[in-house]
Structure 1
């Protein structure tokens, strides 16, 4: 994600990474609670559970501290890049404020699709590997949902870039059942008949599922806005863009030192020498 943002000089995606990194701090902090539950409240008897907990507890404390410390370094460097990358939208769409706004929504939509992918994969992989029984119907439903959602996200990305209306409408329509799937899974985490199998991973799965649902809802809203911007002159900028060259400043000596008579300005009573001028290429 970071490499992709730097390659595209996408400041919106870099800001998204800051928020994402903050979510990783929350996730690493949840591991302290969930590991405690897994050791002391699991259905299997763990010999020397207290000794095991004492050995892993320092690592569970250090992990969120390291992730939080790295977050401050990340904020510092992204702040340095903000001014440089701010010129990119100008080079792509020009100075038209309307085009600039539409292009920003386009970038936000692509950024949301990438985070949707991560959250969905995070939820399904935890369900398939940690929780669900391979012989259950829910396991098959989760397996079937994976290619559907992945095709949905890939179709959205292609449709919004090339302004394919039919594909975009179909992809946005599929987001509604995908959101319903997340609500269904959230209900399963706390339903009396199934809550037992989620007891050691419920906190993490709840956070992942709620964040995935909110991200998908935001993606749907921004996607509708991007769909309305089709055929308004932004296609060339989205599909092709323009080469980006950092702005350079060069000091030019317009007036050279010749003799004392030429150094004096005819508009100045005291004869102050002209200073070198700065021009922007």
Structure 2
């Protein structure tokens, strides 16, 4: 059984196309609301969805390229989180737009701040409701395709690390670590984007600190990924310490509900709370898995980490084995011995007698 090229199978194409349909959700809502400073909550919502969709497409392509089933499962969970965020956004958008009571609107009607026919909320609400429904439908399709890709990608992992159960387990933890680092990036950017667009005053010190934290965290994630792949212990140790320090960012959650500051977060509190909690949990999981990967350093996996997924040498199929011209199964004993050697890690077996 050969390792199929990228997007060569029905399951791979089906998964990628299903993820790509999420772009329709953003286009659908953007038809009604433009990115203007007057609608900060809606601008933030659209910006988050744009980032999430681009990130998910990248993660999908990356998972298919690397034959990483762990990352596919992560995409399913991420898609579920998108559905929750889309559902939360319905009430948050209403809170941001509808700021006048019915009695006030009866005497002083406003297209933006009232409900009813002809208002902005009346035009946007159907799209906001349809968004989580479409995401839920696509999630079911993605689960179906992932089930089919599980067997296909299992062969690719065998191609990289062989049949040794310990090596397969170590490689699986490495895949989890790399996947978590990618999700750390998204959720950190997601929290930061909401704070910068909706909440923080550009003249405040907190705004400057938040901006300055972006390159620091990005460098941390990149160096951590490089260290775990190349098994560089001192960089990995520094990255682990910085992860512990970054968890102190969780104090932001308290500010969302403090009496003196909770009014600032009224229109984004639900999504900010969700993003912050998920970001903290993923960062903590990254730290824990990082320790596990650290313990696997210098145990023979490093070449597989560096070369895994970058190239796959085709493995002969049954058609190759029984082909003519001396290249069949029984007529190419030298090639067969090399294949057995590559999978078993030993010396090539002796040539077999040809019966052609």
Q: TM-score, normalised by structure 2?
A: 0.67
Out of 255, 264, 272, the residue aligned to residue 205 of structure 1 is 272
In the alignment, the residues of structure 2 paired with residue 247 and residue 191 of structure 1 have an alpha-carbon distance, to the nearest angstrom, of 64
> How many residue pairs were aligned?
252
Structure 1, residues 78-105: CA drift from partner, whole Å, max 9, x if none? 2221111111221111111111100000
Q: Secondary structure of 1:192's partner?
A: coil
Task: Please state how far the C-alpha of 1:247 moved relative to its aligned partner.
Answer: 6.4
In the alignment, the residues of structure 2 paired with residue 111 and residue 41 of structure 1 have an alpha-carbon distance, to the nearest angstrom, of 41
Out of 169, 188, 191, the residue aligned to residue 123 of structure 1 is 191
Structure 1, residues 153-195: CA drift from partner, whole Å, max 9, x if none? 00110000000100000001001121111x1111111111111
In the alignment, the residues of structure 1 paired with residue 238 and residue 314 of structure 2 have an alpha-carbon distance, to the nearest angstrom, of 38
Sort the Cα spacing of 1:247 and 1:210 in 2 relative to 1 into closer, same or farther, 3 A: farther
1:257 alignment counterpart: none
Out of 61, 73, 78, the residue aligned to residue 15 of structure 1 is 73
Out of 233, 237, 246, the residue aligned to residue 178 of structure 1 is 246
2:263 alignment counterpart: 196
Q: Which moved more, 1:45-54 or 1:145-154?
A: 45-54
In the alignment, the residues of structure 2 paired with residue 207 and residue 247 of structure 1 have an alpha-carbon distance, to the nearest angstrom, of 49
1:92 alignment counterpart: 160
In the alignment, the residues of structure 2 paired with residue 125 and residue 62 of structure 1 have an alpha-carbon distance, to the nearest angstrom, of 24
Q: Secondary structure of 2:256's partner?
A: helix
1:221 alignment counterpart: 288
1:233 alignment counterpart: 300
Q: Secondary structure of 1:130's partner?
A: helix
Q: Which runs of no fewer than 5 residues in structure 1 stay unpaired?
A: 254-279
Q: Secondary structure of 2:274's partner?
A: helix
In the alignment, the residues of structure 1 paired with residue 69 and residue 186 of structure 2 have an alpha-carbon distance, to the nearest angstrom, of 19
Instruction: Please tell me whether residue 248 in structure 1 is matched to residue 306 in structure 2.
Output: no
Sort the Cα spacing of 1:246 and 1:64 in 2 relative to 1 into closer, same or farther, 3 A: farther
CA contact (8 A) 1:188 1:194 kept: yes
CA contact (8 A) 1:88 1:244 kept: no
Instruction: Please tell me whether residue 159 in structure 1 is matched to residue 227 in structure 2.
Output: yes
Note the aligned Cα RMSD (angstroms). 2.0
Q: Which runs of no fewer than 5 residues in structure 2 stay unpaired?
A: 1-58, 324-335, 340-356
Task: Please state how far the C-alpha of 1:252 moved relative to its aligned partner.
Answer: 4.9
CA contact (8 A) 1:117 1:150 kept: yes
